[in-house]
């Protein structure tokens, strides 16, 4: 989705040409997979993190253009809403002390960026959903000043034909009644409330299916132990409210198409795969193009000439289908490679929590791909999807299904079964003992305490309300304390409440 899109008025012939170009791209991809035309010198990881901006009153600060000008670093870029920026970390090898180096690089980059934000009267926050957002912040005027965002907004609403409806029921806070949200929006800006961490892992083509299937198996556990998005528009909702919010904020389907079973563009999927080709082929078969602007390159002709094609149409289309584990085809210096992009996790709470979440994911994912009997042959895809939504809704209080274990809480599953696998997987990846012990130790202690960002936020808001604050004041007070603790750098399981 990062590619600049110029066309402002798509015609029927554009969509037909684009569909034809995507089909030629699929044919080219199939040839490349068959011929082994991909680079894989060593396993690399990458990370993207979306961030929020707030002012002194803890309200959203619609200042990303000014903040980015003050930061003046190519690692930082715009995101959908003017209260968002994004940090892109350069790819690095997974082995050795890379995780420790990643933590150090993230801390340094965020300190520098926060200095620039301070000069613009703002403060950077790593959090899954900004709790002080209000409906007024979803006005289309607050879209970032980039043509692709306004064009995407326009195309989604043209496809939908009516306002967006945000409709969800929360998990009771402090033994109260469940809170309900029902709110309409006339832009896709509710999506800007979803600030996430995206983990990338470069894989060999023959290993892609196993890594993607393993990531799907892990999604429910990841979101349960890493939840950090419990509040939206003043309501206590899911522990990881990003999950239903992202689905609803980009939904091109009116009610009638939902009733027909038309697939949403934010999608968990519906089956285990045998190749990355399965996912790109599903994209073309099921989803109309939102931004049908074809490029001149013929991908098959590029292959015939001995050059790797850009597959521009397939890649742009893939960027408008928000799978929670997304396939990525990319080129570096004209050489193609494949990645799994894991999009499950929220931003924050602290840098060490973020790196710990990444280490846990990469370790267990690797271990699952090397099992003699793959987990996904013992588990229905529907069970993996059910785990995902249960983990997002209930966090540590979820009940997840796991083969040979049955129904189990996330903390018990991690402590008894998945942490040893994560250690084995990271060792197999060549990760140093120091990095492995540091970050998996954070996950172990988080699970023992049963405290992630969501539980800390919920407990803190409940306490502030018990002391007499109204909801708006409690959210602002919680967020101020959250920022101070995150800046201190300690993992969230150590954060005090009160």
In the numeric block, which tokens belong to residue 334?
A: 């004209």
Encode pLDDT of 390-410 as tens digits: 999 999 999 999 999 999 999
Distance from C-alpha of 262 to C-alpha of 252, rounded to nearest angstrom: 10
In the numeric block, which tokens belong to residue 38?
A: 């991909």
State the average pLDDT over residues 274-286.
98
- Within 53-146, residue ranges assigned H as helices are 64-71, 98-119
Neighbour count for residue 409 (Cβ, 10 Å) = 17
Q: What b/e sequence results for 274-287 when a residue is b if at least 16 CB atoms lie within 10 Å of its CB, and e otherwise?
A: ebbbbbbbbbbeeb
Burial of 260 (0-12, 13-18, 19+ CB in 10 A): exposed
Encode pLDDT of 51-110 as tens digits: 999 999 999 999 999 999 999 999 999 999 999 999 999 899 999 999 999 999 999 999
What is residue 175's predicted lDDT score, i.e. its pLDDT? 84
Find the angle CA(409)-CA(411)-CA(416) to the nearest 5 degrees: 100
Taking each helix axis from N to C terminus, what angle separates 276-286 and 12-35, rounded to the nearest 10 degrees?
Answer: 170
Q: Find the radius of gyration of the CA atoms of the chain.
A: 22
pLDDT level of residue 5 (50, 70, 90 thresholds): low
Query: Given a cut of 50, is residue 1 above it in pLDDT?
Result: no
What's the whole-model pTM score? 0.96
What is residue 43's predicted lDDT score, i.e. its pLDDT? 82
Query: Given a cut of 90, is residue 346 above it in pLDDT?
Result: yes
Contact 102, 355 (CB under 8 A): yes
Distance from C-alpha of 93 to C-alpha of 392, rounded to nearest angstrom: 30
Find the angle CA(190)-CA(257)-CA(318) to the nearest 5 degrees: 60
What percent of the chain has a predicted confidence (pLDDT) above 70? 98
What is residue 6's predicted lDDT score, i.e. its pLDDT? 53
State the average pLDDT over residues 179-203.
97
Mean pLDDT of the chain: 96
What is residue 56's predicted lDDT score, i.e. its pLDDT? 97
Encode pLDDT of 105-155 as tens digits: 999 999 999 999 999 999 999 999 999 999 999 999 999 998 989 999 999
State the average pLDDT over residues 429-446.
98
Contact 313, 25 (CB under 8 A): yes
Burial of 15 (0-12, 13-18, 19+ CB in 10 A): middle
State the average pLDDT over residues 209-237.
98
What percent of the chain has a predicted confidence (pLDDT) above 90? 93
């Amino acid at each position: 989705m990062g590619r600049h899109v110029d066309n402002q008025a798509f015609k029927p012939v554009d969509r037909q040409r684009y569909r034809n170009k995507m089909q030629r791209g699929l044919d080219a991809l199939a040839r490349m997979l068959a011929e082994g035309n991909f680079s894989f010198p060593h396993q690399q990881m990458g990370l993207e993190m979306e961030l929020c901006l707030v002012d002194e009153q803890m309200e959203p600060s619609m200042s990303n253009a000014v903040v980015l000008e003050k930061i003046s670093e190519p690692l930082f870029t715009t995101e959908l809403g003017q209260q968002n920026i994004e940090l892109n970390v350069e790819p690095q090898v997974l082995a050795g002390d890379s995780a420790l180096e990643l933590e150090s690089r993230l801390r340094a980059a965020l300190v520098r960026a926060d200095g620039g934000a301070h000069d613009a009267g703002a403060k950077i926050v790593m959090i899954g959903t900004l709790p002080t957002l209000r409906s007024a912040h979803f006005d289309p005027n607050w879209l970032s000043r980039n043509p692709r965002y306004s064009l995407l907004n326009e195309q989604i609403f043209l496809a939908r034909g009516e306002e967006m409806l945000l409709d969800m029921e929360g998990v009771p806070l402090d033994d109260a009644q469940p809170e309900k949200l029902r709110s309409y929006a006339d832009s896709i800006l509710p999506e800007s409330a979803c600030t996430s961490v995206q983990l990338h892992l470069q894989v060999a083509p023959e290993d892609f299916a196993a890594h993607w299937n393993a990531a799907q198996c892990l999604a429910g556990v990841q979101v349960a132990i890493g939840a950090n998005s419990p509040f939206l528009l003043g309501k206590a909702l899911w522990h990881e409210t990003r999950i239903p919010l992202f689905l609803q904020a980009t939904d091109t389907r009116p009610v009638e198409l939902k009733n027909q079973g038309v697939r949403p563009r934010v999608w968990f999927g519906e089956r285990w795969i045998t190749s990355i080709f399965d996912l790109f082929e599903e994209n073309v078969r099921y989803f109309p193009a939102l931004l049908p602007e074809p490029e001149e390159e013929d991908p098959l002709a590029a292959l015939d000439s001995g050059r790797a094609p850009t597959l521009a149409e397939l890649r742009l289309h893939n960027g408008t289908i928000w799978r929670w584990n997304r396939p990525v085809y990319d080129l570096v210096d004209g050489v193609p490679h494949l990645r799994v992009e894991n999009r499950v996790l929220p931003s924050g709470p602290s840098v060490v929590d973020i790196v710990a979440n990444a280490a846990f994911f990469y370790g267990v994912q690797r271990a699952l791909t090397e099992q003699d009997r793959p987990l996904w042959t013992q588990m229905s895809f529907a069970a993996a999807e059910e785990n995902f939504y249960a983990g997002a809704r209930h966090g540590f209080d979820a009940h997840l299904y796991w083969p040979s274990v049955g129904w189990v809480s996330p903390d018990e599953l991690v402590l008894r079964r998945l942490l040893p696998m994560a250690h084995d997987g990271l060792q197999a990846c060549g990760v140093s003992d120091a990095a492995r012990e540091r970050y998996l130790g954070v996950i172990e202690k988080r699970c023992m305490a049963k405290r992630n960002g969501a539980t800390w936020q919920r407990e803190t808001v409940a306490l502030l309300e018990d002391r007499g604050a109204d909801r708006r004041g409690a959210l602002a007070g919680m967020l101020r304390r959250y920022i101070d603790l995150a800046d201190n750098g300690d993992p969230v399981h150590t954060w005090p409440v009160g």
